[in-house]
Amino acid sequence: MKTETDSSHATYAAAGVDIAAGERAVEALRPFAEQARRPEVLGGIGGFAGLFQLKLDRWREPVLASSTDGVGTKTAIAQAMDVHDTIGIDLVAMVVDDLVVCGAEPLFLQDYISMGQVLPERIADLVRGISEGCVQAGCALLGGETAEHPGMMSDGHYDLSATGVGMVEADSVLGPDRVKPGDVVVAMGSSGLQCNGFSLARHVLLDIARLPLDGQVEEFGRTLGEQLLEPTRIYAKDCLALVAETEVRTFAHVTGGGLAGNLTRVVPRGLVAVLDRGTWTPAAEFGLIARRGRVERAEMERTFNMGVGMVAVVDPADVDRALAMLTARHVPAWVLGEVHKACDVDLDPDAERAVLRGDHPRF
């Protein structure tokens, strides 16, 4: 009769966790982390903590800003397409473009990747994208964590999130307190869906319309999957350039909740930003989702960015300069609307602080 002492020894590997694969993954991502460095970074990856030496002589009264976010169900598209080297750009964008809303310069980012089974090559692809995003944002990739979760996630699946830290002068923090009647709302074009609304997009395009991800879509000039995986535009450096050269009151990063919902967060009580739909035409993917899913306009606008990824509220005297700067930086930009006293446009100041009016051309 077999006893407990006769049985084979249990191991971590037998339970589904491969420590050796994790170590190989660290080595595979090391060169990508090196690409996304700043002079303030001390040491390399692999330690228990990342070290970043603040150059306080650069700052008079520094304030730290932090943000945490993920990519959401866009990862399902990446996994279905077996394309993993761009989703990390999306991750960086979601974090650093929240930081820059208050005027903060992104300093560093740390990522967290969880997988059903650690695949070093896939980790390398993911971190390649994160590194590229950090380079675009001007921040350092200070390290992170890779976790293997057998039994909780299937072998081919993963999720990722990140936390970023930035710095801004105390007297330069942007926000609702700076917004005034007459200020102009400048839109910055998105690169498509970016990172939000993918649960609805997948439901409509894949479940209802049954469109194949590898199928060509005439309006896109490429496959549906390629269009959906287009990386999120990173606005951090563009926004900081505007802050340096123009009078910016605040920014609003257009993510979940849509354009009006996110702009409402940075407009003070008693004022309202009135936005004109007639100033732009949403990209083709938004029209495709609306038609195939018979999605009502209000639902589209509170789910998707509709083609506007970031907005700046600026002093009216600086509008032309702001538009010229963004155009020179290859960021599509246009005047979207204006800030008014709520009483002047017959709106309840407690109910709406950002409203969309009119119709999109050819949408």
pLDDT tens digits, residue range 49-61?
A: 888 888 888 889 9
Whole-angstrom Cα distance, residue 296 to residue 293? 9
pLDDT of 356 strictly over 70: yes
User: What pLDDT, on a 0 to 100 scale, did the predictor assign at position 9?
Assistant: 66
- Which residues, 6+ apart, have CB-to-CB distance to 256 below 8 Å? 196, 197, 303
User: From CA 351, how far away is CA 345, in angstroms rounded?
Assistant: 13
17 has a pLDDT exceeding 70: no
Cα–Cα distance for residue pair 219/299, rounded to 1 Å: 23
Place of tokens 């938004």: 286
The closest of 83, 89, 71 to 232, measured between CA atoms, is 89
Which of 11-25, 142-156, 341-355 is predicted least confidently? 11-25
How distant, in Å, are the alpha carbons of 255, 287, 289, 359, 360 from that of 284? 18, 5, 9, 16, 12
Identify which of 104-118, 133-147, 172-186 has the greatest average pLDDT: 172-186
- Model confidence at 90: pLDDT above 60: yes
E strand residue ranges, the chain: 41-42, 51-52, 62-70, 105-115, 140-148, 158-169, 184-189, 216-217, 222-223, 248-253, 271-276, 308-314, 333-341, 354-357
Mean pLDDT, the chain, integer: 90
**DSSP assigned state of 153:** B
Cβ neighbors of 291 (< 8 A, separation 6 or more) are: none
Q: What is the CA 184 to chain-centroid distance, rounded?
A: 24
Tokens matching residue 4: 């407990």
One-letter amino acid for residue 345 of the chain: V
Residue 65: its pLDDT value, please?
Answer: 97
The pLDDT, as a whole number, for residue 4 is: 47
Q: How far apart are CA 333 and CA 230, in angstroms?
A: 19
Average pLDDT over residues 165-183: 97
Q: Exposure pattern of 322-356 as b/e (b: 16+ CB <10 Å)? A: bbebbeeeebbbebbbbbbebeeeebeeeebbbbb
Handedness of CA 179, 181, 184, 188 (dihedral sign): positive
Domain at 176-357: CATH architecture: Alpha-Beta Complex (3.90)
All structural domains of the chain with their residue ranges? 16-172, 176-357
Stretch among 10-19, 31-40, 178-187 having the lowest mean pLDDT: 10-19
pLDDT band at 183 (very low <50, low <70, confident <90, very high): very high
Handedness of CA 8, 11, 15, 20 (dihedral sign): negative
Q: What is the CA radius of gyration of the chain?
A: 23
One of 3.30.1330.10, 3.90.1150.10, 3.40.50.620, 1.10.3720.10 is the CATH number of 16-172, namely: 3.30.1330.10
Q: What is the per-residue pLDDT for 24? A: 60
Identify the weakest region by mean pLDDT among 20-34, 122-136, 227-241, 313-327.
Answer: 20-34
- What CA–CA distance (Å, rounded) separates 217 from 316? 41
276/268 Cα distance (integer angstroms): 20
Q: How confident is the model at residue 284 (pLDDT cuts 50, 70, 90)?
A: very high
Task: Record the tokens describing residue 215, joined without a space.
Answer: 């199928």
Rounded to two decimals, the pTM is 0.89
pLDDT exceeds cutoff 70 at 76: yes
Q: Are the beta carbons of 272 and 180 closer than 8 angstroms?
A: no
